[in-house]
């Protein structure tokens, strides 16, 4: 409930002239909002906690890691181009 309210406030701010940049390319204005994500911040390290193979698609084991340091919550936006996976 509170999360929904917070998102609503953000949306209103956004429409009122708050112009977030795309989190992928950082160049164009974000048009698709994915909510908040956590990114590593400050000192810490990625420790291996497991392995995954992404099913049989890649058939290559990949490490699953966990960040030990602080995290920062950021708003994640993507512009129209990045959202569609288009290259410049």
CA neighbours closer than 13 Å in the CB half-sphere of residue 71: 11
Strands (DSSP E) contained in 1-88 are 32-41, 46-52, 62-67, 70-78
- Rounded CA separation 51/42 (Å): 25
Site string for Zn ion, 6-45 (x = CB under 5 A): ----------------x-xx--------------------
Q: How many residues bind Zn ion (CB under 5 A)?
A: 5
82 scored as a contact of Zn ion (CB under 5 A):
yes
**Residue 27 or 63 with smaller CB distance to Zn ion:** 27
Residue ranges that bind Zn ion, judged by CB under 5 A: 22, 24-25, 79, 82
């Amino acid at each position: 409930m509170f999360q929904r309210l917070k998102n609503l406030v953000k949306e209103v701010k956004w429409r009122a002239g708050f112009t977030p940049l795309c989190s992928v390319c950082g160049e164009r204005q974000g048009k698709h909002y994915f909510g908040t994500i956590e990114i590593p911040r400050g000192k810490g390290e990625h420790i291996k906690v497991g392995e995954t193979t992404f099913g049989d698609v890649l058939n290559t084991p990949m490490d699953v890691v966990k960040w030990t340091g602080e995290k920062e919550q950021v708003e994640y936006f993507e512009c129209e181009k990045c959202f569609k996976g288009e290259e410049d």
